[in-house]
Amino acid sequence: ILGIGGNIWVGIWLGNGNGDKFWKKNKTKIYSSTNEELVNKVHKVFIEYQIDSLIEKNKEGYFELMINDDQNRIKATQLLESIINKY
């Protein structure tokens, strides 16, 4: 299982009931905004580039984009900057 790759690995975690624990332990907030549309655009790009991510809405009404893979943090940050610069 470990050798399969990020998306399937996380799919297994999320599918076996341990997903919440896994995400809480490993997730990193990479972007936060009240602009849901922009957060969704970034999220879609992350999916295209196979960066495992999810969106959470906090109490203040911000949409927070989380990633759970430290190895992808540099790639995710670069993608995020290029997307934000476009809009």
Tens-digit pLDDT profile for residues 14-66: 444 445 555 566 778 889 999 999 999 999 999 998 888 889 999 999 999 99
pLDDT at 85: 81
The pLDDT value recorded for residue 14 is 44
- Ordered by where they begin, the domains of the chain are 27-86 (3.30.70.1530)
pTM above 0.75, yes or no: no
Q: In the numeric block, which tokens belong to residue 23?
A: 């995400």
The pLDDT, as a whole number, for residue 84 is: 80
pLDDT attached to residue 17: 47
Q: Is the pLDDT of residue 13 over 70?
A: no
Does the pLDDT of residue 80 top 80, yes or no? yes
d(CA 3, CA 63): 32
- CA 50 to chain centroid: 10
Report pLDDT for 25: 65
pLDDT value of residue 72: 80
Place of tokens 């299982």: 1
